[in-house]
Structure 1
Amino acid sequence: MKPSHFIGSRVVKTGVAVFLTAWICELFDAPAVFAVITAIVTIEPTVSDSIRKGFVRFPASAIGAAYSVFFIYLFGNSPITYALAATLTIVTCFRLKLHAGLLVATLTAVAMVEVIHSNYFISFLIRLGTTTIGLVVSTAVNMFVLPPDYTSHITENMMAIRKRLAAKIEKVFYTVTAEQPTAATNALKSTDVVYKKIRQTETLIQFQKEEAKYHPLTNSEKRFFKQVEKQLTCLKLIHYHIDNVVTTRLRDDLWHDHEKKIIRQAADELVDTFNRKTALNQTHIRELRELYWRENGVASRKPDASVANFPPELIITYELLTICQLTERFLEYGKDIKKQTKIIEQSR
């Protein structure tokens, strides 16, 4: 993802929302500060979030304003007013599960202390009105100005995940076939970076689904995102199976030279596939499958053979074979994605 693009659109929308909110408040001769505060925090990644959280922020702001007016009436403009208004606003919003409105409600409660000196009820109503202006304007801006489109970010993330997994596959399977794999595997790093990237992409896909409620997708776009989601599931499972290999207990006498060659050839094939999106060489996959069945046959004849005592050779060949199968599925989804992308580009 390119942060400058992602953050930039929200910054632009925030600026537009603040300007329009302040301008409308000026037309009605109403104080703009509370409306502007609301407008700033209401710009969300999706229109759906802006609307949903707006219904939370309005009552939360009302609670903050009410506490502020009440304590100003009792104690005037004093430190105890600030403390009680802020504290009770937070507690009440938390108890009522208005978590999305905590920030704007607390800011409203504290900011009102300085500007209210009389006509408490009228001031309370004005604050609710300006808060409503901020919510409505900000939501409208989010919907119509630079509508969120996460397609490019999702595509970039998918490419980054592919490349990271390719590098991890090469490193892991060359390590477990090293001369002394027990010592070598201790140096393998966790794949948490890949996992975070996968989670981030899942979030972006969810954002795009929510956005589709207000900016409907064409059939080709729906098909595109459905297939991308399936691809991401494949990558997530591949990541899981790589981690299984990393956590497998090894011995230093695991492999014969020809077995190492088969495993490394399969790993190289996967790396090439992820980097270039080329089809897997079925000769290498067939050799790996034969190795797996040989290891399976040997394991079943061992006296300690049980579900709890699978030998590491069997586990590693199984995981690698599973990764190959998931990769083939990933490529199948990719063909449909390519087709839908062409249709989308032609329709624009």
Structure 2
Amino acid sequence: MTSPLLSTPGATPAAEDSPDVGVAWHYGDPFGEQRAATTRAVVVDRSNRGVIAVPGGERRSWLHSLTSQHVLGLADGQGTEALILDVNGRVEHHLVLADLDGTTWIDTEPTSTQSLLAYLQKMVFWADVAPRDASDELAVLTVLGPTADQLLELPAEVHGVRALPGGGFVRRMPAPAGSHAADVVVPRAALATWWQRLTEAGARPAGSWAHEALRVEQGRPRAGVDTDERTIPHEAGWIHRAVHLDKGCYRGQETVARVHNLGKPPRRLVLLHLDGSADARPQTGDDVTAAGRVVGRVGTVAEHHELGPIALALVKRTVPADTELVAGPSAAAIDPDSVTEDTEVQAGRAALSRLRGR
């Protein structure tokens, strides 16, 4: 789905092979857009995301039975994140939810919208729910930055949802850069109107380049990009945020409980610093190797305004943080702050210093 906002002056479209095809990659100054997101507020066109509506009196109990989240306790005017897992506990879909006025709204990755919808419709049985594709009805904009709260008059609750006049809603969510952020989900027919309204209120236009670079910096995974067909929630840091550990009776729950209670996941999501002098950057899906042995997989690759070339990667938990790595064509080092064990943090900082001294 191609956004009408691509006609905005300065908008450069994302590449055809990008997961964000159809929206702007940047507006002429991607590093300036990133810096603005850390000092004020920017608005990002994310209208390529799929939207699914789930109306019906049993929607919350039904979603509770299907997802990793405790949706049963989701009140009107609240939002959360959830996962759909397979029978082995591997991640199939990541969902962002908002419950408002008798409908639970789900937005998800554009590449998985139809498969997610097909699964939900298959699981209706006799429940009072009617999931439908609402991508033509609503579109997602994201406002992030330290002045986002003031600009949008956000609810005090972190996951609060507020209806917008004329349709749609504002949903406050954790921010890619550790600052405030909110999804402004608006009628698709009014997308350009809302874009103009937000930019005139002080939000600077920013593209997917800025949004993704800040997301990578914070270590927040994107399903289908930073995950593969073997990923379990623990590896990607989705425990607690998208998984409720005190609920059961959903597909894949046994794996979630077993790994949480008895052991550690086989891989972990880390932030990689890449050798900026390399002639080429790694691509999503490239191998991460150590001494010629494959130890992981590259996820999102980004150019950050301060950190330079960075990437998210799933690597084997047994790989020490100070290991010299190669990601695709580039030397790489694990960022120590993306590793929780104190001894590994110290080792990782030494490895990062060696990489920067190349």
TM-score, normalised by the number of residues in structure 2: 0.20
Structure number with higher strand proportion? 2
Larger Rg: 1
